[in-house]
Amino acid sequence: MNSNRMTLPPEIKKFIDAFSELPGIGPRQATRLAFRLTHDRAQHIEQLAQALRELRAITLCEKCFFPYSSSAGHCPFCSDPSRDTGTFIVLEKETDLIAIERAGVFRGRYCIIGSLEKSGALDAEHEHRLATLQNTIATTAPDGKAREIIIAFSPTTTGDINASRVAQRLRSYTQTISRIGRGIPTGGEIEFADDETLAEALGRRSSS
């Protein structure tokens, strides 16, 4: 691959380097995208460039860490007064949150702690986000405790280990701490589960 890239124009090499770092892309798919865009020419290239520029307006919610437009004021979950402030779900990724929202069975609050795949352990950013959740609960929940915190990590080895670590850190901040049920196959990913499976997994959650 490296020897073949010696014949590529520098603009395409730069595109491949940038896009191959994105999740699910990699060098091979990035190369295909680069050639496809060169065939599509100016229209799609400009559309893509504009979409990328507009991402600069996105910021992370200071409470749950879900991305939202900076012109909106607050993320749609933390600013919604109809949502239950006594129940929380802790999850890894924004796509996990979207999957749970799509299932339509949870009306509480969220905390996205970030992907656990790279390090396999809780790093400084994970710890910061958990501390933010602790502060949110302590300052907004009755008696400084949530009614329930649900840990919704994918049922992988890494997810299981870190679910125990997170449960230990949050135990004193909630009346009940639980783990999403095993409706999702072991080794599966929450973001790819269908609505019915997620609803069953949430309904069959167990104490942690």
Which residue spans within the chain are E strands per DSSP? 58-60, 67-69, 87-91, 109-112, 146-152, 174-179, 206-207
pTM: 0.75
Residues 12 and 111 in one domain: no
Residues 21 and 110 in one domain: no
Q: Report strand pairing: 109-112 vs 87-91.
A: parallel
Residues 22 and 66 in one domain: no
pLDDT one-digit tens code per residue, 112-166: 999 887 666 789 999 999 999 999 999 887 788 999 999 998 877 888 889 999 9
Q: How many alpha carbons lie under 13 Å from residue 159 in its C-beta half-sphere? A: 21
Whichever domain contains 20, its CATH number is 1.10.8.420
Is 10 a domain residue?
A: yes
